[in-house]
Amino acid sequence: MGGPADRFAKDSWTAAVIGLGYVGLPFAVNATRRGIGVVGFDINGPKIAAILRGDSPIDDVADEDLLSALALGMVVTSDPAAIEGLDAYFICVPSPLGRNREPDLSNIRSAASLIAKVVGPGALVSLESTTYPGTTEDIILRSLTDAGLMLDTDVFVAYSPERVDPGSGLGISGIPKVVGGVSVTSGLVAAAAYGRLVDDVHLVSDSKVAELSKLLENTYRSVNIALANEMAQLADELDVSIWETIEAAATKPFGFEAFYPGPGVGGHCIPLDPQYLAWKAREVGGSIRFIDLAEQVNTNMPKYVVERTARLLNDRGQALKGSTVLAVGLTYKPNIADDRESPSVEVVELLVKRGVDVHVIEPMLTQASVEAHGVTALDDDASLVGIDLAIVLTDHDDVAYEAIAASVPFVFDTRGAYRKRGLSIANVVEI
């Protein structure tokens, strides 16, 4: 390896983690566990206070793990002076879409501007936030060079896309890390640093490849989920079980990977990341037909679920308006307390707009956060007398599915929750 990379591969060093959200806090805790000095920085004062109390705002960081990291010396602060002159800076700030679904890079720009003011000589600056190819060069590198810093002498710059899977139990250190520098030397330095943080580093030729790889990962998922969703609608028209169809296709040991239908896609990654790629493609005149079509299919799924619900009720001589529906789950994936971009939320809000009295069982969220959507929150053991239909929107483990099916006239299962649990119940209708 040799050269400046040796410092990060062999010596002690201290890193600033900019942004202590779903990516940054797990990153900071993991780096502390791996023996790296860490200063976590965030501008959200109440979040900093909660973290210092050992009260983790992130599901994937248990309170005891947070307290352990703090005891090991992890510093958490909102004071820019605390990150001055450190050895490395990892940018883990949100990168949402704007009102017109254009990339909002304001948090990345703010982080780059801050780092340019406090960075020490020979430091590594690595962007982890999801973005389009060219961002690391255009924003991070430019901000640093505009401040008079010389690449590969005063500072090393790289991109390494975050890879977290909330609720899965997969730790950061066990997930292979793609790393790309804006130069060959920066890439080697970044790979050496990440080699101290994770078990497997995959070094690519430059930061643009690393940036595009992240968008490809989630666009791949978006497109294939859209295919499963479209096939589910076709299977309904053909009176064929889409779940049994997928199970049959998945027996092929090559050429097929199973993706499953549902009420849509949610979370920060799958609904948003392909739009970063689509925005950049439009800018350079590239083709984005698959991306646009996948978004159309996936964003239409909540409406399809509502229309299918209306049809199921109509088949039993009942109108959607004025009915009482139980929704099971609001979060975007099972067993986590995160409803960002959740299609389940959109389904219940559409039902409320259609005059439905919606009750919700959601074991992962507080009553207040559930009822903020204009619905009634129920405990798992609440009486279900008067419920006309139940819809499974998120298949949490901690739900009494058999009891629900026994208590309501019928269940519309959009997640295959009953099938996954080996339950074959006559009044359960699958998407």
Q: Which residues are catalytic?
A: 269
3-state helix, strand, coil in the chain (%, to 5): 40, 15, 45
Q: Give the distance from CA 48 to its chain's centroid.
A: 22
Where b means 16+ CB within 10 Å and e means fewer, 330-356 reads: bbbbbbbbbbbbbbbbbbbbbbeebeb
Where b means 16+ CB within 10 Å and e means fewer, 109-132 reads: eebbebbbebbeebbbbbbbbbbb
Query: Reading across the β-sheet that carries 389-392, which strands appear in turn?
Result: 376-378, 357-361, 324-328, 389-392, 411-413, 428-430
Residues 6+ apart with CB under 8 A from 313: 319, 320, 323, 388, 389
Question: Angle at the Cα of 31 (from 43 to 272), degrees rounded to 5?
Answer: 55
Beta strands in 96-188 (DSSP E): 123-127, 155-159, 177-181
Beta strands in 26-79 (DSSP E): 37-41, 75-77
- Helix axes 273-284 and 289-314, enclosed angle (nearest 10): 140
Local structure of 127: helix, strand or coil: strand
Report the alpha-carbon distance of residue 422 to residue 404 in Å, rounded. Answer: 15
Local structure of 371: helix, strand or coil: helix
Residue for token pair 């483990």:
397
- As a dihedral over the C-alpha atoms of residue 140, residue 142, residue 147, residue 149, rounded to 10 degrees, the angle is 80
78 phi, psi to nearest 5 deg:
-120, 15
